[in-house]
Structures are given as C-alpha cells and as structure tokens.
Amino acid sequence: MKNRELIVEIANDEGKMADALAVRHTVFVVEQMIDEVLERDELDAEAIHVVGYLEAEPVAAGRAVIEGGSAKIGRMAVLKAQRGKGFGVDILQALEEACKDQGIWVARLNAQEHAAGFYSQAGYHRVEGTQPFLEAGIRHIMMKKDLSR
C-alpha cells in the first residue's frame, strides 16, 4: 500500500518487526518516557503489526490484537519529524484493512486524550459511559469504530 510516499507493510518477518518495534521505542520510550516494560508486552507475539516506510526508513507503526470478534488497535506511533503528513491515517487504515481481511468488523482502542480528535476524524467514537483513565501514566479514552461502514 502506498500513499504520500509512505509504503505500509504487514510486519510479517523479523526485519519488519524490528523496524516496527524501533519506531515504537523511539516514540513511546524515548519521547513519552514510558517504561519499556510497559511498552512491550505478550500481545506483541499474537498481534498484526504494520510498519510504514518513507524512502526505505521506518517512520510509523501500529498493531491490532484480535480478541474474540473485535480488534484492539494500539501502539500507533509516527516519528516526531514525520507527524502531520497523514502517515498515522495510513497506518490506521492498513490495520483496519488487515482486521477486515480476518472477518473482524469492530475496532476498539484506548486513545491518548490529545489524539482523540485524530481518531474521531477517522470514524472512532468514544465508548458511551466510559471515563478517561490513566494508562502508563497518560490519560486515555476508550473509543470504537464499526468497520463495516
């Protein structure tokens, strides 16, 4: 998949997976100072991962964990120098397409509050009756989207 010079690929080998994890490390551990123990978890082994390349350099990543009949999208990361170019949209769309390919039609996520507008523009809605909560010391809100639309 190619869009605005970003090439998004499923991280289906060790090299692409290492690239995805490197982007996540830079954004979450280095920039946001999240403990590395919290950033990596056991769900990485079973998740669908995507990585976005700009001129062969990994600059964006995300994952989707299939849980029953829905997917939990997370670990969405774009390197700071590449933000504002639509690459997050590309990563999100690639994850949604990968979910639909597996027959998953509902996506959920815990959005950092400052990113809620980004997800709203992508069709996600706050889960009714939920309140903001802390995850890794950062305020989040629960959101979901019907992928069948």
Are 48 and 95 in contact by the 8 Å Cβ rule? The answer is yes
Question: Which helix (H) or strand (E) is 74 found in, with range?
Answer: strand 70-78
Read off the pLDDT band of 26 (50, 70, 90): very high
Please indicate, yes or no, whether the overall pTM of this predicted structure exceeds 0.75.
yes
Does 68 score more than 90 pLDDT?
no
DSSP per-residue string spanning 2-68: EETTEEEEE--SHHHHHHHHHHHIIIIIIIS---HHHHS-GGGGTSEEEEEEETTEEEEEEEEEEET
Q: What is the pLDDT of residues 134-144, one digit of tens each?
A: 988 899 999 99
Question: Does residue 1 register a pLDDT over 70?
Answer: no
What average pLDDT does the segment 62-85 reach? 95
Whole-number pLDDT of residue 2: 46
